[in-house]
Amino acid sequence: MPKIFTIGFSGKSPDAFTDVLNAVRVRAVWDIRLWRTSTYVPFYSGDNLAATLGTRYEYHPEFAPIAEILIGYKDGRITWPDYERMYRELLATRRPADGLAPDDIDRICLLCTEKSALQCHRRLAAEYIATQFPDTEIVQL
């Protein structure tokens, strides 16, 4: 049974972040942010993560929301229920899990910024992947 982890780096020090990933033996970190740079904490920029994680780092923009949805939600023009619906529709159109096999997703960790997965697209992306592979376990870190 594949297992997918999700993590948000907000509020985590680089050491705490890597300790959590190492503790659960993540095979690869999939960065699913629209923009993979972090002005506030440069460690979390894609190039830095790739160089320092100690595990495989991959950028997967096919799982990122489009700017219109993300910015609309952040500035309050889009409610969370609407964001969920729009993001799920985007995934249904993009079909980013097509071509993936259970081994491809086992022990990956979907990365985003938000501290909690409750109102973050990484939870929705993990749920989408799990619909493609029904025995998948999702663990929010």
Question: pLDDT tens for residues 86-115?
Answer: 999 999 999 999 999 999 999 999 999 888
Q: What is the DSSP letter of 57?
A: E
- Cβ–Cβ < 8 Å for 90, 66: yes
Q: What is the DSSP letter of 39?
A: S
Q: What is the pLDDT along the chain (141 residues), one digit of tens a residue?
A: 899 999 988 888 888 888 899 899 999 999 999 988 777 777 777 787 777 788 889 999 999 999 999 999 999 999 999 999 999 999 999 999 999 999 999 999 999 988 888 889 999 999 999 999 989 999 999
**Domains of the chain listed by start with CATH number:** 3-133 (3.40.1010)
- Does the predicted TM-score (pTM) go above 0.75? yes
Whole-number average pLDDT of the chain: 90
Model pLDDT, residue 5: 96
CB under 8 A, 24+ apart: contacts of 84-88: 84/124, 87/121, 87/124, 88/124, 88/128
Question: pLDDT tens for residues 26-36?
Answer: 999 999 999 88
Q: Give the C-alpha separation, 69 to 15, whole Å.
A: 32
In which residue are the tokens 């790739």 written? Answer: 50
